[in-house]
């Protein structure tokens, strides 16, 4: 897969940023968010399940 990009450099020629097509950016953003969500869900698999009342107490919100 070839990604068209423009590399922005500073006055010393060092790369400072990369410009990509906005539609590609949106697709990459969705993919990264999905990966993050999947990782968070995987990490939460072993967490203790709480009922609503216990969860509210845990976050210190009273009904």
pLDDT in tens, 23-63: 999 999 999 999 999 998 888 887 888 888 888 888 876 55
User: Is the CB of residue 21 less than 8 Å from the CB of residue 4?
Assistant: yes
Q: Which residue has the higher pLDDT, 12 or 55?
A: 12
What is the H or E stretch that residue 44 is in? Answer: helix 22-44
Residue 42: beta bridge partners?
none
Please give the model's pTM, rounded to 2 decimal places: 0.58
Q: Note the pLDDT of residue 61.
A: 66
Which tokens go with 13?
């020629």
User: Is the CB of residue 18 less than 8 Å from the CB of residue 5?
Assistant: yes
Mean pLDDT of 1-13: 94
Q: What is the dihedral of CA 25, 31, 37, 40, to 10 degrees?
A: -100
């Amino acid at each position: 897969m070839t990604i068209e990009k423009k590399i922005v450099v500073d006055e010393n020629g060092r790369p400072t940023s990369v410009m990509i097509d906005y539609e590609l950016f949106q697709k990459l953003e969705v993919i990264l968010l999905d990966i993050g969500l999947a990782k968070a869900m995987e990490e939460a698999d072993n967490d203790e399940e709480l009922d609503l009342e216990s969860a509210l107490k845990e976050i210190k919100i009273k009904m």
